[in-house]
Each structure stands twice: as C-alpha cells, then as structure tokens.
Structure 1
Amino acid sequence: MKILFLTQFFSPETGAASKRVYGLARQLVKLGHEVHVVTGMPNYPTGRIKDEYKKKFFCFEEIDGIKVSRYYVYASNKRSTINRLLNYFSLVLSSLFFLFKRRQIDIIITSSPPLFLGISGVIMSKIKKIPHVFDIRDIWPDVAVEIGEIKENSKIYKMMKKIEKFIYENSDILTVVTNGKRANLIKNGVSPNKIKLISNGFDEEFLEIPINKEIADKYNLIGKFNLLYAGIIGIAQGIDIIIESAEKLKSNNEIQFVLVGNGVELERMKGLVKEKKLNNVIFTGEQPHVNIRSFLYYSSAALVPLKSEALKDSVPTKLYEALGAGKPVILCASGDSVEVVNESNGGLIVKPGDIDSFVESIEKLYKDTELYKACTINSKEYVIKNYSRKSIAKTLEKELELELKKSK
C-alpha cells in the first residue's frame, strides 16, 4: 500500500502526536508499505521554527524510510487563540500543495488533534478518490471544554463542532486510541461500525537506545530517588501538582523531581519553583526523544499527571514508555489510563488534584522496596505483551487493507 499521513506534528517535534505517527509510520514501512508524511516545519511546543527549517515554504526529507514532505506553517511563541488558529489553518492550506506532486496514494490517514487538518484530508481524499481515515487521539472540541480552554456556548466551539461533523461524515474510518473514546463517539451518534480501536503503544526498540551517561552527570541524577516527568509542560498536564508535592517533600534530600520538556506552562512552573525556593526540582528543557530512554534509566519512578478528572479517555504515550522501561508509575488521572496501570500492576493511582495522596504515593514507592520491585517487573512484561507498536501497526494494516477492498 501507498499510505499518506497528514499530521500537524512530526519528528523532530516532541509529544504524543509526533510519537504516534512516527511509530506507526515506521512500523508500516517495516511491513513493506510506502509511507508518506505531510506535515509542517517543526515548531512545537516552543512556537519557534527550528533553525534548519526557517524561511522555507517546502522541504523534503526521508526519516527511517518515511518520505516526509514539510510545508509552510505560521508559528508564534505568543500564546493566543488567534495565533493557534493561524498555526493550524496555515497547514490546512499549505498541505494541499501536496496534490500537485501527483504521487499515487492509496489511502490517507489524518492525525487529530488539531481537528482542522481533517479538512485537508477530506479534500485530498475526494480529489484523489481514495479512502480517508481520521485518527483521533483526543476528541476536539470537547476536550478543549474539559480543560477550560474554550466555553461550550462560544462561537469557536460551535464552529469546531460543525467542522467535526463534516470530517466525521466524510471519513471512511474513525480510529481511536481508547475504548473510552469509542464509547464517547457512539454516544454522540457515530456508527459503531465506522470506529476502529488502534491504541497507542510502546516501541520495543526504545529499550535498545544506548544510555547516555553524561545526562546523569549534567543533571545530578546519581544517588537520588528521581521522579521523572517527561512530556509537554502544558495546560492539560496539570504540572502544578508536581511542584506542590516537591514543596511538601523538600526536607527529604534524596527525593528529586526531574521535569523534561517544554510548553506554554514551563515559565510559570519555573516561577513557582523560584518563588517557593525549591532546590529539589530540575528543569532540563526540551530533549531529543532518544534522551528520554536515559532519563528513564536514571529515574526511580515516572509521574503521569492530567489536570482534570474529566479527561477520562486519555492514555498518555509517556505512560506506556515508563511502564515499558520497567519504571513504576504514579498516575494522577481517571478512566482509561487507570485501567492500564491497574491491569499492569505497574504503579499507584491518585485522583487529579489530590496533592496529599500524590505525596503519599511517592513516599510509599520510596519506602516500600517490595512494592517497588513488583511494579518494575509487572509493568514491563504487561506493556510489551499488550501494547507493542509492532502489533498495533499490524492491526492498522489489516483495517486499511479491508477498507481498500471495500472501496474498489
């Protein structure tokens, strides 16, 4: 098959969206398919286009056998609704230039969020007369309401609901990452036959990445009980609970919090640490994904918080990576993520916003060596058995082949 992914985010950008598309695309290449990716110039999460891509409308590169076409995208480090919409819609328009390349494509997969790129996916599928698959990691605009970014009675919400309906009606398949999202779509009138579960997963090759010992020296990780947060430092992640926990545990010189990543909340988090005069919190800034393996290696446990209990159908990619690397997880969430941790017996769970329970869980893993050891063994075995990216890509391959047969 000749498969095209449309995605707002792609390597070297960090975050769940980039990891998912890159992981699936790479595995599909290994299965013998020709995979194209249409995306923008890398700018997430800083809002600044990386130097080697600046002042370009188009560039082509090949990454691990994936043919990547990058187009112009408006980027700004000033956080506002207008700037974000300009960022999204600039790629909606520029991505359509891929149509002029006249490449033969059998099927299109659009990654969401953001929602809007689905417009390009639908247009391309209609012009090329091929199936369109809309891959949903988060259901927008509903998730934006859940985390308080927009209001349900606002004009932008109503506009996005119309776009959502248009994309769903003009997509042949809707793929979702959790059963919770599947149930959500069915509740909102989408036919169950149209929805396929293609979960997030774990790349076993991640464990083969060499450990960078310089990271331990640079960030003073040796001899500490390191609690790692690795991911976007944004609104939905609820990083405040980590900073507040660090304040409560500052008397323990062995416990240290390591925050790896960038995002719109980073400067505010740094300000809180400075204001509270904490010396047990380390910010590393954005790191290449290969370095996350080393940070996990030198960490004692991983922290996976979500801001709102309303985000019940989200399973962050960082959760699979931490469990797959054999690290106990302290999950601050509800819903589908809880099921993964419970089934794996790989960590402890607290409700979003429950700082006291969060601190108690940290202290429990720190003190209870038997519990800690059990979590490390259980988590790795469970994730590799149930959430291997290789097996997930094979499931996606079968769904795509079935859809192609139907369309002929």
Structure 2
Amino acid sequence: MKEILIITNYFPPETGAASNRIFHLAEGLQKHNFKVSVVTPLPNYPTGRVFETYKGCFKASSTENNINVHRLWIYASNSKNKLLRLIAMLSYSFSLIWFFVWNKIPKTVIVQSPPLLVAFTSVLLLNSKKRKLILNVSDLWPIAGLELGALKKNLAYGFLEKIERFNYKNADLVLGQSEEILIHVNSIFPEKDTFLYRNYPDFNPTEIFETNQSKNKLKMVYAGLLGIAQGVYKLCQELDYSNIQLHIYGAGAEKNNIETLILNNPELDIIYHGEISRKELHQELITYDIAIIPLLNRIYGSVPSKIFEYARLGLPMIYFGGGEGENIIQKFQLGWIAKAGDYKDLNTVISKINTSNINKIYKKEIQKTAIDNFNFNTQLKSLIGIIQ
C-alpha cells in the first residue's frame, strides 16, 4: 500500500470549499488503496478561534475514515490585521517544521497552496530527489491578493512572488483548479508538469422536484463564506427585490453587517439562516429556484467550487464573477451570467428570467450535465495514474 501525505490548512470539521476539497481527495485516495495521512492545523476556520473540542491542545492525532489526521498547534486568527495573519501562518509553519523533524515523511506529498508561506515551508524542507512533491494550487497568490485589494505592489509583494516561483519550480507536479492557474504556472515554467484538478464534489445526486409553484417571486439562495471576496453584503444592498426573495446561508467577516442590514431594512426581502452542516444544506438548496454565485471582483484563476456542487444538485445558477467560471456556466448551460461588478446588469438579467422555465425538466438536465462532465472519480483515477 503506497503512503501519501497531504499538507493543508483546512480540513473537517472545518467547513467550506477548501476543507471539502481536501477531504474528498484524501478519502478518494484512501479508497484506492493509498495509506493516507493528513497534516493540518487545529480546527479554527472560519471563526479564527480554535474549536471548543480542541482548546488547550498542542496537537491532536486521530484516525478518521481510515485516514490518519495530525492536527498541529496554530496561533488562530482571522483578523484583518496583516501582522496577526502573518503570525498565524508562521505559527503553523513552525509546527510543520517540528512535525517534519519528528516524523517519517512518505515519498509522495501533496501540499495545498495558498497559504504561500505554509507551502514554501513544506516545499523547502521536503524537496528531495527521492520524494515526489505535488503542489495543489487552488488560488493564485499573490495575484489574487492584489485583485482583492488585500495587497499592494511593493517589496512585500515582490517577496511573495519569489516564494510563489520557488514553490512552482521545486514541485514535481502542479495541480490547478482552473485552466487559468495552469496557464500562469506554465508561463513562468513552460516545462513544468501540470494537471487540471477541478473542485468536483463527491456525493450521490439528489432527487429533483418542482419548486416555487406559486411563481410569485424567484426564490434565490446564496450559500457559503460571507467574506470580503464574495461581496454578499454589497449584493444585499444592490439587488432589486421586486421579483426575488434572497436566502443566505453561511458565516464569515460580513455576517454582522448583513444581519444589521436586515434588521434595519425590513423592506428588503432577505432571510438569513445562519450556518448549517453540508448535508443539511444540500437538503435546503434543492428547495430553491436558483442560486447566485457572486464575486466582488473578478479574480484571475478562481473558479468557485459552488458551480460543480450546485450543478450536481440540479440547481440553476446566476454567475456574477467573470473569468473562467463564467465560461463554464455558458459552455454547459448551467444558468445565467451577469457582467462582473455591474449590479444594474445583474438586476436586468434577473428580471428577464422566466420562472416557468425553472422546472423539474431543466433541473434534471443540469444534474445530468454535472454527472456526465464533472465526475470526481474519473478525475481522481486520472490523477492516480500520474502520481503512482
């Protein structure tokens, strides 16, 4: 049985796309006769506080779904203060160094990036001709940070670019969750081996049934991180509620602002449901007419995993983020697109949706498209063929 180690910043019981993606990868490899170990911080995302179960722990090891999980100490923080965020990343990097010193590391290692500093620590210390290092890139940093306004082009940015290049250069294989990521990597290192590894979900398709029989208003849902990048707070302010009712699930930095907005503006047809488990969320999502996937700014290299998850649920989408995600929606006819950042266009697109067309037949078509084209196991088998 071949051993493989996955180094990541996110893992269940943490919620969100990153956690789900790595869990499914680990579980999938385990089911294909790999002996899988995962190294991750003590759970703290998205609250920035170590979960109650793990408070007071320096480390915790367990076997979960036949996967060996090692949770290491981290100075947890989701503060907007850049220094505190840096300290949090460095603390996990130091814990990784301690782990590498005292544990035997397999010959195949998958390293999640970003965070760049954590990936750099892993690549720097584990780089060996006898070891295969696989860099799993889900977002392009520091470019994404620049587009989000979190970073500026200065000496610090140049330093992060050097780290990024070091990571790509010393990885034996780079996995990218979008074509744009692979294009970027190969523009720097043309000969680098790359593999498109999308964030496909792995769950049994749900039964499709009719929704919104009255068709008085379009029942639209947003589910996910309420962070700066998603811009859900601004979305709530800019939407025209004449023909829609917006339902929100999730948690994050904008949660309090959204709750205050709803409290102070009862005329806005918004219902906030809080955060629920992924299994519960799936049961809720299939009761809605349509989902919205917003990004405050178009982020090069980003393709929200919600596209593939919603498609498997048979849920039509409005995509409001530009880039490669927009192309996927159009190519596979998964819903509608609005110009990134143009709320007037978004409201126009929504107003033109014929609710009578959002029926069981249309939803089944979307689900079939997902089953045929966004298959987790087919993709995983292709990846295994490369890394074995």
For the residues of structure 2 that align with 1:124 and 1:395, how far apart are their CA atoms? 28
Structure 2 equivalent of residue 231 of structure 1: 224
Structure 2 equivalent of residue 178 of structure 1: 178
How many pairs were matched up? 382
Structure 2 equivalent of residue 55 of structure 1: 56
* AA at the equivalent of 1:32: N
Tell me the TM-score normalised to structure 2 length: 0.91
Per-residue deviation, residues 87-125 of structure 1 (Å, max 9, x unmatched): 111111102333255345121111111111112321442
Label 1:15 to 1:92 Cα distance change in 2 as closer, same or farther (>3 A): same
**Paired residues of 2:140 and 2:301 also in contact (CA < 8 A):** no
Label 1:240 to 1:354 Cα distance change in 2 as closer, same or farther (>3 A): farther
Q: How does 1:308-323 map to 2 (within 5 A)?
A: 308-309=297-298, 311-323=299-311
For the residues of structure 1 that align with 2:79 and 2:180, how far apart are their CA atoms? 34
Structure with the higher helix share, 1 or 2: 1
Label 1:3 to 1:381 Cα distance change in 2 as closer, same or farther (>3 A): same
- What stretches of structure 1 move > 6 A for 4+ residues in a row? none
**Paired residues of 1:228 and 1:303 also in contact (CA < 8 A):** yes
Pick from 339, 346, 355: which aligns with 1:368? 355
* AA at the equivalent of 1:280: D
How far apart are 1:126 and its partner, in Å? 3.2
Structure 2 equivalent of residue 406 of structure 1: none
Structure 2 equivalent of residue 215 of structure 1: none
Structure 2 equivalent of residue 286 of structure 1: 275
Q: Structure 1 residue 70 and structure 2 residue 71: aligned?
A: yes
Structure 2 equivalent of residue 256 of structure 1: 245
Structure 2 equivalent of residue 35 of structure 1: 36
How far apart are 1:279 and its partner, in Å? 4.8
Q: Structure 1 residue 200 and structure 2 residue 199: aligned?
A: yes
Q: How does 1:111-260 map to 2 (within 5 A)?
A: 111-126=112-127, 129-153=130-154, 155-187=155-187, 189-205=188-204, 207=206, 225-246=218-239, 248-249=240-241, 251=242, 255-260=244-249
For the residues of structure 2 that align with 1:324 and 1:359, how far apart are their CA atoms? 26
For the residues of structure 1 that align with 2:100 and 2:138, how far apart are their CA atoms? 26
Label 1:348 to 1:26 Cα distance change in 2 as closer, same or farther (>3 A): same
Per-residue deviation, residues 223-268 of structure 1 (Å, max 9, x unmatched): 974311111111111214530344x21x55xx32121111112222
Structure 1 equivalent of residue 265 of structure 2: 276
Structure 2 equivalent of residue 107 of structure 1: 108
For the residues of structure 1 that align with 2:306 and 2:274, how far apart are their CA atoms? 16
* AA at the equivalent of 1:263: G
Q: How does 1:314-333 map to 2 (within 5 A)?
A: 314-333=302-321
**Paired residues of 2:10 and 2:45 also in contact (CA < 8 A):** yes
* Higher mean C-alpha deviation, range 56-65 or range 372-381: 372-381
For the residues of structure 2 that align with 1:361 and 1:74, how far apart are their CA atoms? 44
Tell me the TM-score normalised to structure 1 length: 0.87
Partner SS state of residue 348, structure 1 = strand
Structure 2 equivalent of residue 216 of structure 1: none
For the residues of structure 1 that align with 2:78 and 2:100, how far apart are their CA atoms? 30
Partner SS state of residue 318, structure 2 = strand
Partner SS state of residue 337, structure 2 = strand
* Higher mean C-alpha deviation, range 162-171 or range 29-38: 162-171
- Higher normalized contact order (CA 8 Å, seq sep 6+, divided by chain length): 1
* AA at the equivalent of 1:26: E
Q: Structure 1 residue 395 and structure 2 residue 382: aligned?
A: yes
Partner SS state of residue 116, structure 1 = helix
**Paired residues of 1:119 and 1:167 also in contact (CA < 8 A):** yes
**Paired residues of 1:228 and 1:295 also in contact (CA < 8 A):** no
Gaps of 5+ in 2: 208-215
Pick from 352, 365, 379: which aligns with 1:378? 365
Label 1:105 to 1:190 Cα distance change in 2 as closer, same or farther (>3 A): same
Partner SS state of residue 203, structure 1 = coil
* AA at the equivalent of 2:118: L
How far apart are 1:375 and its partner, in Å? 4.1
